[in-house]
Chains A and B, each alone.
Chain A
């Protein structure tokens, strides 16, 4: 593709985003060329700032612009309940529902020996530390409802159980993607079933 170099570079940047293939990247790059210069500058600044100013909360692992994050610092919230999720997106989804008043712990993944991911590769050790330091009474395990998410929840449950902390499991949402090989109606009923004791 013999585009002028600045366009080629922009195309290359767009292809680094998830779900964007070469064709879409070219379309987006040419779209940018037609945007107002102010908008483009804003866009670039926002991209850089988002990256520069956002870090992971040192307590819960959620993305934040200040450390500890607003949720961890919020005195109104119930610090005795922690909801464990796989991804920052899960926190945002739960917060949208406005039902939950406890705190979070974001694992950033699930255990999967197949992919070389063990408990130490995700935020399990920091969760265990946290349970030692804080006055936690209940842990809600809201990892994804697939094999890896279930296994991660069961693993954490095994580690924490001896401490006497109440543990429950909630499967939120459904596995994404239209892969015919996976999932089924049981997943749906599991998700609807809601929280259960482990």
Chain B
């Protein structure tokens, strides 16, 4: 799949603007603060209806404007479809093929996007929350039903935690309502866990050979799921459900004492190992970077496996950061099959051959100009 064109209205530092893109590689060159990341973000938002760098939709609307709009055309399954996401103080609306999609899970998946930006090093180094977000977004974009279960899970968790706070303060806590929420929580948690396990197996399958390639055969990558409950990847959702149910029964009084839900998918993490050593704690900068890159490249293949088309790749400020070997490895992976957007402040440090084949744009103060 690829994006044919984008049209921005009152979005970030763009006023009224439209541009057509190349099917293969698009390089966007500009000085700092001109709108490179904003353009990448626009494509990301078109895929997920939310930004990769802020949870507050309002920030996407150009200052002093009432609303902001991102429109685009995606070409997939041999057809071109219009997409539209509008933000205003009334909230947001998303349309696929002219029809408004009321539910996030119906819209997501209209286009698949993989983004790689300097912050993605946090995928390895950052807090567990970053890794949970990674898993959730990635599963969600190929399996919208996952988003439904995640949303339900989070809602139940909030209610359950509020109740646990009440029970913590009460003299004779009545556990009836708590058990209702436990049942609900377990139902969705077991589905989330099962899907995460399946995702992980696929991610591993793709990431391992990629990592080995980038490290010239010196490094072996391993990924583990660090669960807060005693569950493992060989369990099906029924086994997981039983284990969770047991756990919550055993720890009921402890949870009441602590006034919060102590375990569940919202407390889990991923662990990355290179040659048997945890990269999060022991990895060098280079190893961490390679790991993050392997995961992102694995995602591209994984999405292809799931949806039968390659996603769109956004490389914000990272290509020139990679050494020649990693760069060419990346470019070989995407060669001719993945529509790619690259931003950079200068073409120095980017592979000449790539530049010569790419469509070049320069951006200045919210205006993108095609160079050739």
Q: How far is the CA of A185 from the CA of B101 in the complex (A)?
A: 11
Q: Of the listed stretches A39-47, A48-56, A76-84, A106-114, name the one at the interface; the rest are far from the partner chain.
A: A106-114
Contact B166 A186 (CB under 8 A): no
Q: 8 Å CB contacts to A: which residues of B140-181?
A: 144-145, 147-148, 151-152, 155-156, 158-160, 162-163, 165-166, 176-177, 179-181
The residue on B at minimum CB distance from A188 is B103
User: Which bracket fits the contact residues of A?
Assistant: 20 to 34
Q: Of the listed stretches B19-27, B104-112, B122-130, B282-290, name the one at the interface; the rest are far from the partner chain.
A: B104-112
Contact B177 A155 (CB under 8 A): yes
CB distance from B366 to the nearest CB of A (A): 27
Contact A151 B102 (CB under 8 A): no
CB distance from B356 to the nearest CB of A (A): 42
CB distance from B158 to the nearest CB of A (A): 6
Contact B176 A158 (CB under 8 A): yes
Q: Which residues of B contact A (CB under 8 A)?
A: 49, 91-94, 100-107, 144-145, 147-148, 151-152, 155-156, 158-160, 162-163, 165-166, 176-177, 179-181, 183-184
CB distance from B200 to the nearest CB of A (A): 24
The residue on A at minimum CB distance from B148 is A184
Contact B177 A111 (CB under 8 A): yes
| A-B contacts besides A151-B184, A158-B180, A184-B104, 15 pairs, CB < 8 Å | A112-B159, A113-B166, A147-B155, A151-B159, A151-B181, A154-B180, A155-B180, A158-B176, A159-B176, A180-B91, A180-B103, A181-B104, A184-B144, A184-B148, A184-B151
Nearest 10 pairs of A and B residues by beta carbon: A113-B162, A113-B163, A184-B148, A184-B105, A114-B162, A154-B180, A147-B155, A180-B104, A155-B180, A184-B103
Contact A179 B180 (CB under 8 A): no
Known: A158-B176, A185-B106, A186-B145. A180 touches B94 (CB 8 A): yes
Please give, as numbers and ranges, the residues of chain A lying within 8 Å of B181 by CB-CB distance. 151
Contact A178 B102 (CB under 8 A): yes
Contact B184 A185 (CB under 8 A): no
Please give, as numbers and ranges, the residues of chain A lying within 8 Å of B148 by CB-CB distance. 183-186
A67 on the B face (CB < 8 A): no
Q: How far is the CA of A119 from the CA of B177 in the complex (A)?
A: 9
The residue on B at minimum CB distance from A180 is B104
A150 on the B face (CB < 8 A): yes
Contact B162 A147 (CB under 8 A): no
Instruction: Give me 13 A-to-B residue pairs in the complex whose CB atoms sit less than 8 angstroms apart, sorted by A's number.
Output: A112-B162, A113-B162, A114-B158, A114-B162, A147-B155, A154-B183, A155-B176, A178-B102, A179-B91, A181-B151, A183-B102, A184-B104, A185-B145
CB distance from B146 to the nearest CB of A (A): 10
